[in-house]
């Protein structure tokens, strides 16, 4: 994946030189290892700032809404599905976008690498299937790339972009032998009381910074329900009930739209796996309506269509 | 504990269940007094927010009826 | 909601036509019985005084 960088720069430069777009959204190196940051390029000569490696986990679809200029965006499988969702929800117009597809082999979980590594990490590089960590004391370590992927990437079955104008590289092979919902099933098998405790523990460290909401490409409401004061849906403090209400409602808002891009979990400063909530809704949508978000522009989402044979066992 | 009675917040659709509730009243039918009715213009107005807010504010159950 | 640990009987859905007052009475009674059996809602109530 590291080899994409040259191609990414080349494409960005060409698009800007030919004035096909006014701005390119990609990634540049962050100030810390494994923290690439989104980068907005307007001039062709700045294209060399762009990079692409296994630390581009932020979802760039998040930066497309509310803009007027013509934009080129680099999109992994999950980003492209979120772009489709944006187009369906009329948040962006297809003809104002140049989507450069990036076939993805998964992003590195920075927390996993950091927790496995003793000592201060100076830089993290990659080659074909190894992640190479250089320590500040001069030592270096190697991890198998597959072992340090983000949880959602390890289980991803849509690595290739679903919509694109051009591609950075050839499409990659999709994973087929993964069990996407093992963790959700585990929770489903608990009884009500266990589940309540489980989520209480899961969400207890939350500091209500709303980084998960801000990182999420689906969360584009002008005023989020947590910020509303008339009516005030939930308190602003650290009350456990308020924290849980926030996470539950956030998950509900993503029902049938979430592509499990993992941006929320990646952004969380205390490492809460809130994907356990959104994944349940994803699983339900898939099992009840055979629906996966953002796969096509031609179909209305499961939750805004009605079919006479929709499951309705829960209604008396 | 013995004299505890549940409070059930009921979200009733104006055109369906609210009508049914009205008819039940007009027909002088008897039903448990534990429900607190919120009339909504349509069940489509229902949101998970309402259900969670009701439980958070102390409701013992939530009933949505179209 | 069930997945999150809310008891299944705390949330009910039904479909009643405006002419079905008998069904309305039936459903109200049934739900009330179920919630009575379940006992009061303790876990999801916010305990401190509300700050508006």
Write down the pLDDT at residue C26: 87
Q: What is the ipTM of this complex?
A: 0.79
Q: What is the mean pLDDT of residues B31-51?
A: 90
Domains of chain A with CATH codes: 1-106+155-176 (3.40.50), 179-304 (no CATH)
Q: From CA A294, how far away is CA A279, in angstroms rounded?
A: 15
**Interface with C, mutate which of A196, A202, A278 (most C CBs under 10 A):** A196
User: What does the pLDDT read at residue A31?
Assistant: 87
- Cα distance from B3 to chain A (closest Cα, Å)? 25
Is C40 near chain B, with CB under 8 Å? yes
Instruction: Give the span between the Cα atoms of B49 and B35, in whole angstroms.
Output: 19
Q: What percent of chain A has pLDDT over 90?
A: 52
Look at the alpha carbons of B20, B25, B26, B30 in this order and tell me if their dihedral is positive or negative: positive
Q: Given this model, what pLDDT does residue A213 score? A: 93
- CA dist., res. C11 & res. B51, Å (int): 8
Report the DSSP pairing between strands A97-101 and A50-51: unpaired
Nearest-angstrom CA–CA distance, B65 and A70: 46
A-contacting chains (≥3 CB pairs under 8 Å): B, C
Nearest to A316 among C4, C27, C46 (CB): C27
Please say whether the beta carbons of C36 and C7 come within 8 A.
no
For the cut 90, the answer to whether the pLDDT of residue C43 exceeds it is no
Q: How far is CA A6 from CA A110, A145, C15, in A?
A: 24, 21, 60
Which residues in B lie closer than 8 A to residue C35 (C-beta atoms)?
6, 8, 34, 60-61
At C19 the pLDDT is: 82
> Is 50 exceeded by the pLDDT of residue A246?
yes
Minimal Cα–Cα distance from B7 to chain C, Å?
9
Q: What SS3 state is found at A78?
A: helix
Residues with Cβ within 8 Å of C7's Cβ and at least 6 positions away in sequence, in order, are A192, C38
> Pick from C13, C43, C46: which is nearest to A315 by CB?
C13
For residues C4 and C24, the model is more confident at: C24
Which of C8, C48, C52 lies closest to A232 in CB terms?
A: C52
Chains A and C form CB pairs within 8 A to the count of: 49
Identify the band that residue C41 occupies on the pLDDT scale cut at 50, 70 and 90.
confident
Which of the four pLDDT bands, split at 50, 70 and 90, describes residue C1? low
Q: Distance between CA atoms of C28 and B11, rounded to whole angstroms?
A: 12
Q: Considering all CA atoms of chain A, what is the largest pairwise distance in Å, rounded to the nearest integer?
A: 67
**Interface mutation target, options C5, C7, C21, chain B, most CBs of B under 10 Å:** C21
**Burial status of residue B50 (CB atoms within 10 A of its CB: 0-12, 13-18, 19 or more):** middle
Nearest to B8 among C22, C23, C31 (CB): C31
CA distance C52 to chain B (A): 13
Note whether A249 contacts B56, CB cutoff 8 Å.
no
Inter-chain contacts counted by CB atoms under 8 A, chains B and C: 116
Over range A72-98, report the average pLDDT.
Answer: 93
Taking the C-alpha atoms of residue A21 and residue A23, their distance in angstroms, rounded to an integer, is 6
Phi/psi of residue A75, nearest 5 degrees = -130, 120
pLDDT at C51: 45
Is residue A26 helix, strand or coil? strand
Dihedral, CA of residue A213, residue A219, residue A222 and residue A228, to nearest 10 = -50
The closest CB to that of C14, out of A195, A200, A316, belongs to A316
- Cβ of C5 and A196 within 8 Å? yes
Predicted local distance difference test score (pLDDT) of residue A237: 82
d(CA A279, CA A256): 10
Distances (CA, A) of A78 to A71, A160, B5: 18, 8, 49
pLDDT at C52 over 50: no
Model pLDDT, residue A272? 93
Beta strand extents in chain C (DSSP E only): 11-14
- Ranked by mean pLDDT, the top range of A58-72, A226-240, A295-309 is A58-72
* Residue-wise burial string across A264-283, b where 16 or more C-beta atoms lie within 10 A, e elsewhere: bbbbbeeebebbbbbbbbbb
Percent of chain B surpassing pLDDT 90: 24
pLDDT of residue A217: 93
pLDDT of residue B58: 86
Taken as a whole, chain C contains a residue count of: 52
A263 vs B2, higher pLDDT: A263
Check A187 against C3: CB less than 8 A apart.
yes
Write the CA distances from C41 to B5, B60, C36, integer angstroms.
11, 5, 10
Q: Which residues on chain C are in Cβ contact (under 8 Å) with B23?
A: 18-19, 21, 24
Tell me how far apart the terminal alpha carbons of chain A are, to the nearest angstrom.
52
Residue B44, token pair as written in the block:
């489509």
Burial A169-184 (b: 16+ CB within 10 A, else e): eeeeeebeeeebbebb
Structure tokens of A39? 């980068």
Res. B63: pLDDT tops 60: yes
- pLDDT tens readout for residues A171-200: 998 988 888 899 999 998 888 888 888 999
A240-253 vs B48-56: helix axis angle to the nearest 10? 170
Three-state secondary-structure class, residue A283: helix
How many CA atoms, within 13 angstroms, populate the side-chain half-sphere of residue A27? 26
pLDDT at residue B1 tops 60: no
Query: Minimal Cα distance from A245: which residue of B?
Result: B52
Structure confidence by residue, pLDDT tens digits, A6-36: 999 999 999 999 999 999 999 999 888 888 9
Could you give the 3-state DSSP secondary structure of residue A99? strand
For chain B, the chains sharing at least 3 beta-carbon pairs closer than 8 angstroms are: A, C
Q: Does the pLDDT value for residue A307 go beyond 70?
A: yes
Whether C25 sits inside 8 A of B18 (CB atoms) is no
Is the pLDDT at A167 greater than 90? The verdict is: yes
Nearest residue on chain C to B23, alpha-carbon basis: C21
Q: Do C44 and B55 touch (CB under 8 A)?
A: yes
Which three-class secondary structure state does DSSP give residue A143? strand
Mean pLDDT of chain A: 89
pLDDT of residue C48 exceeding 60, the answer is no
* Residues in chain C within 8 Å Cβ distance of B65: 12-16, 27
User: Cβ–Cβ of B49/A248 closer than 8 Å?
Assistant: no
């Amino acid at each position: 994946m590291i080899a994409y960088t040259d191609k990414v720069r080349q494409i960005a430069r060409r698009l800007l030189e030919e004035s096909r777009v006014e701005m390119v959204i990609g990634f540049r190196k962050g100030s810390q290892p494994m923290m690439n940051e989104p980068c907005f390029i307007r001039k062709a000569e700045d294209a060399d700032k762009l990079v692409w490696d296994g630390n581009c986990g932020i979802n760039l679809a998040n930066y497309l809404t509310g803009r007027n200029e013509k934009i080129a965006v680099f999109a992994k499988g999950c980003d492209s599905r979120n772009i489709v969702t944006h187009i369906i929800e009329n948040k962006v117009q297809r003809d104002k976008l140049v989507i450069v597809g990036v076939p993805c082999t998964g992003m590195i979980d920075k927390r996993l690498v950091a927790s496995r590594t003793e000592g201060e990490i100076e830089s993290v590089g990659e080659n074909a299937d190894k992640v190479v960590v250089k320590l500040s004391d001069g030592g270096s370590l190697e991890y198998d790339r597959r072992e340090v992927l983000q949880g959602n990437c390890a289980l991803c079955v849509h690595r290739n972009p679903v919509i694109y104008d051009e591609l950075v590289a050839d499409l990659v092979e999709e994973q087929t032998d993964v069990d996407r919902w093992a963790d959700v099933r585990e929770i489903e098998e608990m009884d009500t009381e266990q589940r309540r405790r489980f989520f209480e523990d899961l969400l207890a460290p939350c500091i209500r910074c709303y980084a998960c909401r801000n990182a999420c490409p689906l969360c584009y409401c002008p005023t989020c329900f947590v910020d509303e004061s008339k009516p005030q849906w939930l308190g602003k403090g650290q009350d456990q009930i308020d924290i849980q209400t926030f996470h539950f409602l956030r998950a509900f808002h993503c029902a049938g739209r979430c592509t499990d891009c993992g941006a929320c979990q990646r952004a969380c400063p205390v490492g809460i796996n809130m994907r356990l909530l959104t994944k349940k809704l994803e699983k339900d949508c898939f099992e009840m309506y055979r629906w996966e978000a953002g796969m096509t522009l031609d179909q209305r989402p499961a939750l805004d269509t009605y079919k006479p044979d929709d499951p309705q066992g829960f209604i008396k | 504990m013995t004299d505890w009675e549940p409070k059930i917040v009921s979200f009733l659709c104006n055109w369906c269940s609210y009508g049914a509730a009205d008819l039940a009243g007009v027909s002088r039918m008897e039903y448990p007094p534990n429900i607190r009715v919120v009339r909504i213009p349509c069940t489509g107005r229902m949101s998970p927010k309402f259900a969670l807010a009701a439980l958070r504010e102390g409701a013992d159950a939530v009933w949505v009826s179209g | 909601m069930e997945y999150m640990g809310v008891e299944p009987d705390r949330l009910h859905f039904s479909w009643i036509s405006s002419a079905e007052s008998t069904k309305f009475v039936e459903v109200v009674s049934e739900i009330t019985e179920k919630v009575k059996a379940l006992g009061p809602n303790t876990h999801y109530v916010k305990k401190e005084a509300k700050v508006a």
